Amino acid sequence: MAAAQRGFGRRMSLSAGNRWSQYEYEMQDPVDDPPDAARRGEWTFGRLRYRSPLDTGRFYSRWGIDANKGDRSFITALSRLTRIDVSPIETIIDIDSDDIFNWPWLFAVSAGDWELSTPQAARLRKYFDRGGFLFVDDFHNPREWASFMRGIHQIDPTAEAIDSVDSDVPFHVVFDMTNRIRVPGANVVHGNQIERGGVSPAWRTINDSKGRMRVAISFNQDVGDAWEFADDPNYPEKYTTEGIRLGVNYVTYAMTH
């Protein structure tokens, strides 16, 4: 993607009055706040701000991929497709803050590049033990999977990721997603749809001891791009529809189970 398309050209023009202006230099595609940004809804999109050795200060941070345009697009879709009272903008939750316990639903991008400290892992363990939900997306290939699972095992050494099956409840709470399709990144959508060597798309889950999904995993896919490019005619509508439906189902599942 060209720099202007991915948001680089817009950073200096954004308003200093934006709620998350202090983090815009870490975001891939920052946008201005809507007029009702201060309104607090029943449910809020939580974006996890983690650390990565790939955060070099040049361009954007790994946690900020697709942010915050992708988050805002999904928020708009969730508001239109459900009766959930959705806050108009996302909340950025820093992994080092106990504020994490106030937000029961989190989204983390490129988690195959995260690097957790011992206190961060302990905080996430408490978050999950208290019923928190995490949706991870846009990481690819065996190396990134292994890195993601290292972090998961810091959080919970007993955690296991299992492949989801068509009958799993999260695929049916709002939309019937028995026949799921891969959601590719915008940079590979018109090619073989394989990004960074991630060949086979996977929908996986990490459950708690009672079988409740606590981590929803979109592997070798890029749901965030489906949201971010929902208004781009070069990104096929069927993938945006798939990505939005998956997100709606995960939100609704987390709120009701």
Task: Measure the CA–CA gap between 2 and 17, rounded to whole angstroms.
Answer: 27
Task: Measure the CA–CA gap between 46 and 5, rounded to whole angstroms.
Answer: 24
Under 8 Å between Cβ of 88 and 39: yes
Q: What domains sit in the chain, N to C, each tagged with a CATH number?
A: 8-256 (3.40.50.12140)
DSSP 3-state of 43: strand
Secondary structure of 79-138 as H, E, C letters:
HHHCCCCECCCCEEEECCCHHHHHCCEEEEECHHHCCCCHHHHHHHHHHHHCCCEEEEEE
188-212 pLDDT, tens digit per residue, is 999 999 999 999 999 999 999 999 9
DSSP state, residue 197: T
What's the pLDDT score for residue 46? 98
Calculate the average pLDDT of the chain: 94
What's the pLDDT score for residue 193? 97
The pTM of this model reads 0.94
**Does 2 have pLDDT greater than 90?**
no
> For residue 109, which of 149, 134, 138 has the smallest C-alpha distance?
138
Task: Measure the CA–CA gap between 39 and 116, rounded to whole angstroms.
Answer: 32
Pairing of strands 213-219, 202-207: antiparallel
Contacts of 59 (CB under 8 A, 6+ apart): 8, 28
Residue with tokens 């992708």: 70
DSSP 3-state of 27: coil
Helix 118-129 × helix 141-155 angle, to 10°: 70
What's the pLDDT score for residue 7? 41
209-255 pLDDT, tens digit per residue, is 999 999 999 999 999 999 999 999 999 999 999 999 999 999 999 99
159-188 pLDDT, tens digit per residue, is 999 999 999 999 999 999 999 999 999 999
